[in-house]
Amino acid sequence: MRKQLLEFAPGFSAYVGSAEETPFFYREIFQDHAYDIAQLADDAFIIDAGANIGMFTLYMKKKYPSSTVLAFEPAPESFQMLSENIKLHDLQDVELHECALGAENTTQNLTFYPIVPGNSTLVPEEKKMVGDVFRALSQDWAESADKMYSSSEEISVRVRTLSHFLSERKDLKRIDMLKVDVEGAELETLRGLEEVHWALVSNVVVEICDLFEGQLDALKSLLRSKGFSVRTETPPWSPIEAKMFMVIGHRKVVAT
């Protein structure tokens, strides 16, 4: 993966490792506003689980300059780009952690895809299923899937619970947005959040694939059990057959 500095708009550039996929992330976040799910406080506390090179964090800090962001990315090369982008934009109150999130503190193998590092995953079986779906759609989709997943490597990464980090913040009063885009480990990430921290969350947005049937229902059930109203959207960029969803949860949190 070769580092490049790309200009996405006048006055806005970022370091990328993949010129193939990053323009898609920019369009999704900055132009299509996929994560504009709620109006947050100016000093919002935001969690970016699956930060990749930092497009979501850059967007939220641009929109809410006084916000605090905790960003998590396990792939070493993507984490390097993330770190350099935070420095490039001279962002303050952004805390970076080079690790995956899960239901317990452990070590796991991450399957890293150099051509599409944003697809890197702890659950490679899911990516195999996605590739098979794409190959069945058309020749163009098949060629895209073959290119995307043509090379990979296994990397041992730390996995920590989200509450492992939140427990260190004794003054934490609220979590305005929890964004989860972790390529197959969504439920495990959320199961690593203790009740004391769930009680602080007012907005959740999770990208999830339901090719392993039952994942979507389990996610919605979990969020509803925590008191969230839930809605589900199909991203415009995804074919229906891929069963990709954005699950959005809202609830009112009473400050203590």
Q: Each residue of 232-253: pLDDT tens digit?
A: 999 988 889 999 999 999 998 8
Residue in 109, 67, 85, 70 with CA at minimum distance from that of residue 25: 85
Directed axis angle between helix 139-148 and helix 124-137, to 10°? Answer: 150
Instruction: Provide the CATH number for the domain around residue 177.
Output: 3.40.50.150
pLDDT digits (tens, 9 = 90+) for 100-124: 999 999 999 999 999 999 999 999 9
Per-residue pLDDT of the chain (256 residues; tens, 9 = 90+): 578 999 999 999 999 987 778 999 999 999 999 999 999 999 999 999 999 999 999 999 999 999 999 999 999 999 999 999 999 999 999 999 999 999 999 999 999 999 999 999 999 999 999 999 999 999 998 998 899 999 999 999 999 999 999 999 989 999 999 999 999 999 999 999 999 999 999 999 999 999 988 999 999 999 999 999 999 999 988 889 999 999 999 998 866 5
Q: Determine if the pTM surpasses 0.85.
A: yes
- What span, in angstroms and rounded, lies between the C-alpha atoms of 61 and 55? 10
Are the beta carbons of 48 and 117 closer than 8 angstroms?
no
- What span, in angstroms and rounded, lies between the C-alpha atoms of 168 and 40? 23
DSSP state of 192: T
Residue 174 lies in a domain: yes
Number of domains in the chain: 1
Are the beta carbons of 86 and 57 closer than 8 angstroms?
yes
Residue 241 lies in a domain: yes
The pLDDT of residue 146: 92
Residue 103 lies in a domain: yes
Residue 255 lies in a domain: no
Residue 30 lies in a domain: yes
Amino acid at 110: L
Residue 256 lies in a domain: no
Full residue range of the structural domain in which residue 140 is found: 4-250
